[in-house]
Amino acid sequence: MVLPPMLGGGRGVGTLMVICCLALCALVACGGSSSSLPPASLPPLSTTTTMPAAATQLPPPPVVSAAAAVVTQAAPATPTPIAMPTTVALPTPEVTLTPPTADLIGPDQIPTNVNPLTGETVADVAVLAHRPLAIKVSNSSAVVRPQSGLNNADLVFEHYAEGGITRFTAVFYGKGAELVGPIRSGRLIDLEIPKMYDAAFAYSGSSAPVRDLVRSSSFFDRVISPDFGHAGFWRDYEIGNPDKPGWETLYTDTDTLRHQLQQRGLDRAPQFPANMAFNETPPPNGSAVSAITLQYLGTNVFWQYDAGSQRYLRWVDGEAHLDANSNQQLSFRNVIAVAANHVDTLILEDEVAGGHYSIEIQLWGEGPVSIFRNGQRYDGRWRRSDASHMITFYDMDGNVIPLAPGNTFFQVVPLGFTGLTTQ
């Protein structure tokens, strides 16, 4: 059986799986109790991949007040296309790790009063005794925006779902959220994220093969989903955009999900065998970047650095991206473009326009990364060598790249992605 062609030029090139059972067996092996990961085969970043013509049309770069309260449009500047860094092997990090200053937090040791996912000191260490929550949030079209709760997440992953659209997995640990949603269905990438952060996984709906893979995963006991008859979700037709369709109206909150875990005796402190590093002082040798654009096939993402708050503010498809809980613009201390191998499988996710197939995003092994913090860009490599490890970051010499203490937004893109531009 021959797989359908990949979607568009923004998709990375991977070895396609020819037989569905082989794809499922490989995924089950990755999702089981073993701590080993499948070997990563990372081809060099493509120099010939191109985005569709529409991808070159960028929104005018917004001008943001220091308080991030006023958004105006300025004349567009000419963006500078920047490819993701080339693929090179890293030295073993234990040999060459050199902290940029004495204020480094992690990766080896995290103080007991510091959130390992943000590098921030917590007011009450009791919050770190709870299990992280990975929650699936819709981003399929403008009608679902503004979503609820994203600004309270420690980490947010944006990734391709199928058909060029993107979806979010938000990880909550240091803070809760009074409302999170709209909640949507899981994808193959969600076989990896809960293992990285020893997290529970809350979602609603999936294709039958993905549901079976979740059921056979090592974290199934901490899955919370209507797919398996679990409570903790409700419909609300008034939140955010009242014109959104009925399937975009499912919500939850972090307290309710924790109650579900407590009933199972599973709301306990996570184990993190590998940590990210943090430092308030930016590393040397960064390049100044004040604005970032990522052109996915179905959506345009724009980040602008606000020096006053030392945070990146997010726009999507030319409009400020808000959190419905507070009506505030999404803002993050770190924005990280993670390039990983994307492979189409034979798992049919929908039948729109002839059908779209589930994508295996291979967040294991290592690959190129571009980290944006404090108005600077740092290129290097991400690494994840064990199923229980979170993604960590190194420069081309194998030195750890520390993040700014605070929340982080991961922009997951394919190898060969040419839709990243900076100003």
pTM: 0.79
* Percentage of the chain modeled with pLDDT above 70: 75
Q: What is the rounded distance in angstroms from the CA atom of residue 351 to the CA atom of residue 357?
A: 9
Q: Which amino acid is at 324?
A: A
Q: What's the rounded Cα separation, in Å, for the pair 108 and 277?
A: 8
Which residues, at least 6 apart from 387, have a Cβ–Cβ distance to it below 8 Å?
Answer: 30, 34, 35, 36, 37, 192, 195, 218, 364
Per cent of the chain over pLDDT 90 is 68
Q: Which of 60-64, 95-99, 147-151, 235-239 has the lowest mean pLDDT?
A: 60-64
Task: Give the three-state DSSP class for 364.
Answer: coil
Q: Tell how far CA 46 is from the center of its chain.
A: 22
pLDDT of residue 124: 96
Q: Domains of the chain, with CATH numbers? A: 20-106+275-422 (3.50.90), 125-264 (3.50.90.10)
pLDDT tens-digit readout, 167-211: 999 999 999 999 999 999 999 999 999 999 999 999 999 999 999
Structure tokens at 130: 């709870």
pLDDT tens profile 372-398 = 999 999 999 999 999 999 999 999 999
**What does the alpha-carbon distance between residue 345 and residue 362 come to, in Å, rounded to a whole number?**
12
Inform me whether the pLDDT recorded for 345 exceeds 60.
yes
pLDDT bucket at 346, cuts 50 / 70 / 90: confident
Angle between helices 20-31 and 208-215 (to 10 degrees): 30
Would you state the pLDDT for residue 355? 74
Check if the beta carbon of residue 239 is closer than 8 Å to that of residue 324.
Answer: yes
CB 391 within 8 A of CB 90: no
Two tokens, residue 252: 């939850």
pLDDT in tens, 212-240: 999 999 999 999 999 999 999 999 998 88
CB-CB neighbours of 263 under 10 Å = 10
Question: What average pLDDT does this structure show over 148-166?
Answer: 95
Burial class from Cβ neighbours inside 10 Å (0-12, 13-18, 19+) for residue 8 reads: middle
Lowest mean pLDDT among 33-42, 159-168, 252-261, 308-317: 33-42
Q: How many residues comprise the chain?
A: 423
Helix, strand, or coil here: 113? coil
